Amino acid sequence: MSPWLQHTSFAVIAIISVVASLLVVTRRNPIYSALFLIVVFAAMAMAFLLLGAEYLGFMQLLVYAGAIMVLYLFVIMLINPREGDLPDEGSGSDRVFAGAISLLVFCLLQFTISSSPRLAELDAVMPSLPNALAPDHGSPAAFGRELFREHLLVFELASILILVGIVGAVHLSLRARRRPEAETDPATGGGKEVAGV
């Protein structure tokens, strides 16, 4: 692939990813947010494929856009948020404040990354990097060794975090369905309890 085509493809993927990520955090309905998050994961998979990391790209599609998003959608459907249950989005000044904070965090991250000495070292090493890589670099075997030897603790903590989130969603859903709601009868002035739906 020519450098011009590679840069153009990366720019298109980056624009799609940024627009979809903005739609994730601006949609009021969580189902729409989850669907746009799938678009973000797909764009990230395309970026991995563009960088020559085919295995990571396919795993991004299978694990995140597939299995993880199915879990998210399952939890969203289990909680079953209705329009009246969704929180207020806040006033216009709140949105402007949130956008300003987000822009500030982005600028700080960009400044920190661009001024890092490790980035200059990486620029110096990049031309000789392909020759220094192992022959099986990027293969499933090499990826598995790196994941389960060097990053096993982080991998297990992420799986426990997802499990805790699912258990918490199920607990909140069941508690909301079993909670009785007091309803006042205008004729008798008394109260009667009905099961919450």
130, part of any domain: no
CB contact burial 122-148 (16+ within 10 A = b; e otherwise) = eeeeeeeeeeeeeeeeeeeeebeeeee
User: Do 164 and 113 fall within a single domain?
Assistant: no
Rounded to whole angstroms, the Cα distance separating 19 from 41 reads: 13
3-state secondary structure 76-124: HHHHCCCHHHCCCCCCHHHHHHHHHHHHHHHHHHHHHHHCCHHHHHHHH
User: Do 68 and 142 fall within a single domain?
Assistant: no
132, part of any domain: no
User: Do 22 and 68 fall within a single domain?
Assistant: yes
Give the pLDDT band (50/70/90) at residue 118: confident
16, part of any domain: yes
Give residue 195's pLDDT: 45
User: Do 110 and 63 fall within a single domain?
Assistant: no
User: Do 31 and 63 fall within a single domain?
Assistant: yes
Residue 13 has pLDDT above 70, yes or no: yes
User: Do 101 and 27 fall within a single domain?
Assistant: no
Residue 82 has pLDDT above 60, yes or no: yes
Six token digits for residue 137: 């670099």
Give the pTM.
Answer: 0.59
Which residue range is the domain that position 163 belongs to? 137-197
Number of domains, the chain: 3
Mean pLDDT over 164-181 rounds to: 75
What is the Cα gyration radius of the chain?
Answer: 24
Higher-confidence residue of 98 and 139: namely 98
